[in-house]
Amino acid sequence: MAKVEQVTADEFRAEKEKLETDRAILNERLQALNAEREKCIQQLTMIAGALQTVNHFISKIDPEVNLEDEIDVSDVKT
């Protein structure tokens, strides 16, 4: 006849303690990752704003001329 293994309450308590510790560690790690994610989102937003500003100044200083655009020469004085 096969031997039946029994699990004691102390073994369950020990396993519960390990699982609770693991959960706490993972929660801390998740909070740190979320904070890092928010920081990255803020940095991306700031960089996007800086790029928009730089592009604005570039277009004012050195505007690109599209050769396919029609030019109205009726306003040009000769």
Q: What percent of the chain has pLDDT over 90?
A: 71
Residue pLDDT, tens place only, 54-77: 999 999 998 887 777 777 777 666
pLDDT at 78 over 60: no
Residue 74 resides in a domain = no
Residue 18 resides in a domain = yes
As a three-state string, the secondary structure of 9-72 is HHHHHHHHHHHHHHHHHHHHHHHHHHHHHHHHHHHHHHHHHHHHHHHHHHHHHCCCCCCCCCCC
Residue 1 resides in a domain = no
pLDDT of residue 67: 75
Provide the domain limits for residue 23. Answer: 12-62
pLDDT of residue 64: 81
Residue 19 resides in a domain = yes
